[in-house]
Amino acid sequence: MLMLGGVIATLGDRIGMRVGKARLSLFNLRPRQTATLVSIVTGSVISASTLAILFGVSSQLRTGVFELGRIQDDLANAEAQLANALAEQEDVKADLDAAATERQRALTRLREINQSLDQAVDQQEITQIQLQRTRDQLTTVSQQAQALRQSTDSLRAERDQLIQQQATIRNQIANRDRAIADLDETIAARDKDIAEREHRLAELQTQQSLLDQQVADLQNQYEDLFRGNIALSRNQELLYGLAQADSREDATRIINELLYEANRRAIQAIVPGNPPDQQVILIGNREVENLIDRLSTGEEYVIRLLSAANYVTGEPCVVRGEEPCIQIFIDATANQQVYQKGERLATVSLDTVPFEDSDLVERLNLLFVSTQFRARQDGVVDDRLQVADNRTETLLRFLAAIQQYGQAIDLQAVAADDIYNAGPLQVDIVASRDGRVLFSTNSFAASGNNAETPGVGP
C-alpha cells in the first residue's frame, strides 16, 4: 500500500507538472487550477485505493465499519439477558435458603416431638410402676383386712363363750350359795378379762373401719390410674382471652372474672355437677398482683390460665371440700403484631406431575403444619388456621385449579391480614411458578358458591 501510494503520488506529481508546463486547461479552468484539480484527483485515488485494499483484505474491518451498530445492539441485549439471569439466580438462591431454613425448622420440630414421645414413654413407665405399687398396697391392705375380720370373728366367738361361761358361773353361784365367797375372785377375774376383751374388740372394730376406708380410697385411686381418667393435665389451658384495662380497678375486676371462670371450669372437669361457688384453684397473691400491675398500664394482653400439674377426676381434696389444691399459673403476653399482611409464612413445592389427590392433600397438610409450627415459635397463642373465607368449597376449587394447571408449582402460605399474638392465623394460599403468582384461594373465595373455576393453564 505504501509503494502503491508512492507510485500514484509520483504519477500525479508528474502529470501535474506536465499539465502545469503545458499550461493545459480542463473544464475551462485556469492552468494553475487545472494542476490543483489533478493533485486532488491523485490524492483521492490514493485514498480510494487504500480503502479498497483494506476492505478487500480484512473481513474484520468490513464488519467493524458496516455492522458495528448491530454488534453494539447485540452486546446490549446480551448484557441485559445476563443481568436477568443473575437476578433469577439470586431469586433461586433465596428460595433455596428459605427451603433449607424450613427444613431445619421441620427437623427441629421432629426432634421436639421425639423428645415429647420419650417423655411420654418415661411417664408411662412411671405410671406402670405406680400402678404395680398400688396393686401391691391393695393386696397388703386386703390381707390385713381379712386378718382383722378373722380376729374379730374369733374375739366375738370368745366373747360369746365368756358370756355363756359367765351365765353358767352365775347359775352355779345361785345354786351354790355356800361357794360364793370362794368364787367371787374367779368371777371378778373373769369379768375383768371380759371387759378387756370387749375393749380390745372395740379397738379392732375401729381399726377395721379405718382400714376399710383406706381400701376404698386406694381402690378409687387405682381405678383412676388404671383408666387414665386425668381431668386436667400439666400445662393444660383452662382459659384464654384478651384483656385491656385503663385503671387498676378495671384490671382487678377483669382478673377476678378470669379466675372465677377458671375455677368453674376446673370444677366441671374434676367433679362435674359440684356447685361452682367452691374455690378449688390455688394461685399466689404476688403473681396476681404483678399481673394486675401489668394490665393496668392500658396495654392489651393475651392471658392464659394453665394447670400446674396433673389432676384426676374426683380429686380427693376437691371432693372432700378441703383447702384449694388445684395449682394454676398465669401466662400473660403483650398482644403485639407478629406478621404483616402479605408476609410469607411457609412454602412447599409440588414437583410430581400429574398431581394425585393424596399428594395434594399431603403437601397442603405439610404447608399447614409448617405454618402453625412457625407461628407457635414466633409467639402466636391461638394457632388455629383460617384459609381465605374458611370454606371447604374454596379449598376444593383451589386444588382443582392446581390439577388443571398440570405443571410444577410452589404453594405459599401468606398472611391475609395483620396477625397478632392473640391469633388466629388468617392466611391465603398462593400458587406461584418462577416467582410469578398464578392464583390463590382468595380469588376463589371472592367468586362465590356458584362461580365457575377460573381457567388456568401453562
pLDDT tens track for 52-88: 888 788 777 777 777 777 888 888 888 888 888 888 8
Domain check: are 215 and 168 in the same one?
Answer: yes
Please indicate, yes or no, if residue 291 is contained in any of the structural domains.
yes
pLDDT in the model for residue 122? 81
pLDDT in the model for residue 208? 61
Please indicate, yes or no, if residue 85 is contained in any of the structural domains.
no
Domain check: are 162 and 217 in the same one?
Answer: yes
Which range of residues forms the domain containing residue 317? Answer: 232-335
Helices (H), 353-415: 357-377, 392-405
Domain check: are 421 and 344 in the same one?
Answer: yes
Choosing from 203, 230, 257, the residue where a domain stops is 230
Residue ranges for the chain with pLDDT beneath 70: 22, 24-26, 141, 145, 148, 151, 176-184, 186, 193, 196-229, 353, 446-458
Please indicate, yes or no, if residue 421 is contained in any of the structural domains.
yes
Please indicate, yes or no, if residue 94 is contained in any of the structural domains.
no
Domain check: are 281 and 327 in the same one?
Answer: yes
Rounded to 5°, the CA angle 338-247-422 comes to: 20
Choosing from 172, 199, 230, the residue where a domain stops is 230
Domain check: are 363 and 428 in the same one?
Answer: yes
Residue 324: asked if its preceding bond is cis (omega within 30°), the reply is no
Per-position b or e across 91-100, b if 16+ CB within 10 A of its CB: eeeeeeeeee
User: For residue 262, what is the enclosing H or E element?
Assistant: helix 248-270
Closest to 283 measured CA to CA, from 315, 307, 317:
307
Please indicate, yes or no, if residue 112 is contained in any of the structural domains.
no
Number of domains into which the chain is organized:
4
Domain check: are 353 and 401 in the same one?
Answer: yes
Distance CA 111, CA 105 (A): 10
Domain check: are 402 and 361 in the same one?
Answer: yes
The grid coordinates of residue 382 equal: 391461638
Choosing from 230, 264, 296, the residue where a domain stops is 230
Domain check: are 130 and 33 in the same one?
Answer: no
The residues pairing with 428 across neighbouring beta strands, listed in sequence order, are: 414
Distance CA 13, CA 20 (A): 10
pLDDT in the model for residue 454? 41
The grid coordinates of residue 59 equal: 473481513
Backbone angles phi, psi at 245, to 5 degrees: -135, 150
This prediction has a pTM of 0.43
Domain check: are 252 and 318 in the same one?
Answer: yes
Please indicate, yes or no, if residue 83 is contained in any of the structural domains.
no
Domain check: are 217 and 237 in the same one?
Answer: no
SS3 58: coil
Domain check: are 252 and 304 in the same one?
Answer: yes
Please indicate, yes or no, if residue 78 is contained in any of the structural domains.
no
**Regarding beta strands 311-312 and 337-339, do their DSSP bridges make them parallel or antiparallel, or are they unpaired?**
unpaired
Closest to 315 measured CA to CA, from 343, 286, 282, 283:
282
Per-position b or e across 55-80, b if 16+ CB within 10 A of its CB: eeeeeeeeeeeeeeeeeeeeeeeeee
pLDDT in the model for residue 429? 92
Please indicate, yes or no, if residue 429 is contained in any of the structural domains.
yes
Domain check: are 323 and 406 in the same one?
Answer: no
